[in-house]
A = this chain, B = another copy of it.
């Protein structure tokens, strides 16, 4: 499989319902390095995703098995930061506390516009937004 095609396939799989797609490096017979495509999906989307993989790639077969998933409750929200309000997720932790996590795209955009390191943008957005409102940014 051409790696260009694999990048394309990942996008396609997300578009038609994959909840998660990961690639893992594997090693096959006859000294062939390969890539395993792993897809997480709802049962109702399974067959369409299998078809897509068999159509888009040179794979001759796809294995699948049911699995459960424990997920933290999350909901979209706005988060106050030194950069102003940014799109975020509010996540409920196992111990009942909430945590707000800013969205990557929102912070990446700030980093690009202001010419800051993304690492720095994360640190400042998550740090202590209320106390730093008077910072010169």
A-side residues, CB < 8 A to B, are: 1-11, 14, 20-36, 38, 40, 47, 50-51, 54-58, 60-72, 74, 91, 93-95, 101, 104, 108, 111, 117-119, 122-123, 126-128, 131-132
Given contacts A60-B74, A127-B127, A131-B131, contact A26 B30 (CB under 8 A): no
- B10 and A21 contact, CB distance less than 8 A: no
Q: Are A117 and B55 in contact (CB under 8 A)?
A: yes
Task: Pick 8 A–B contacts, CB within 8 A, sort by A.
Answer: A3-B32, A9-B118, A24-B27, A29-B31, A54-B94, A60-B74, A61-B71, A62-B70
Copies in the complex: 6
Which single member of B26, B55, B65 contacts A22 (CB below 8 Å)? B26
Residues of B close to A101: CB separation below 8 A: 58
**Known: A31-B29, A63-B40. Is A56-B3 also a contact (CB below 8 A)?**
no
The answer to whether A33 touches B22, judged by C-beta atoms less than 8 angstroms apart, is: no
- Complex CA–CA separation, A30 to B27 (angstroms): 11
5 residue pairs, one from A and one from B, having the closest CB atoms:
A25-B25, A3-B32, A128-B128, A7-B31, A61-B71
